[in-house]
Amino acid sequence: MARVADIVSRALRILRVVDAHSAPSAQEMADGIVALNGMMRRWEANGLALGWSDVEGPDDQVPAPDEAHEAIVYNLALKLRPEYGAALEPDVVQHAADGHAALRRDVLTASPLQVTPRSPREGRYNIYTDSWD
């Protein structure tokens, strides 16, 4: 399981805000954590249930499955991009979109939608009660 610092640092490296041999500043890490929590709360609210709970510091464990880390990193880079005025290559944007789509597919596969078939009966359908009279 990854630490929050691993996720935020990698996103900042993808943005080229920090290089491979240096660590983000305390302010960069704090900003990354705020953005990470906001992004993940939005994903959860949109039905992408990964079990996220807000993280507070760089040493916290990432409360998401290991297979979600790659998508989280690339989407966090995309979310942080405007704050740093960085340009992202199209492949990075595509990787973020593909990762998010894969996570959505995984969630739908794990808990598929259940549709209850209704068969028409004699009588009329009442749109107000959503039933057959």
pLDDT per residue as tens digits for the range 48-94? 999 999 999 999 999 999 999 999 999 999 999 999 999 999 999 99
Q: With contact defined as beta carbons under 8 Å apart, do 80 and 35 qualify? A: yes
pLDDT per residue as tens digits for the range 105-125? 988 777 655 656 656 556 677
Report the CATH number that the domain containing residue 26 is assigned in CATH. 1.10.3230.20
CA atoms within 13 A on the CB side of 102: 14
Which residues are CB-neighbours of 22 under 8 A, at least 6 positions away?
A: none
pTM surpassing 0.85? no
Q: Is residue 125 part of a domain?
A: no
Q: Is residue 115 part of a domain?
A: no
- Nearest CA to 58 among 93, 34, 85? 34
Total domains in the fold of the chain: 1
Tell me which residue range forms the domain holding 53.
4-110
Q: Is residue 122 part of a domain?
A: no
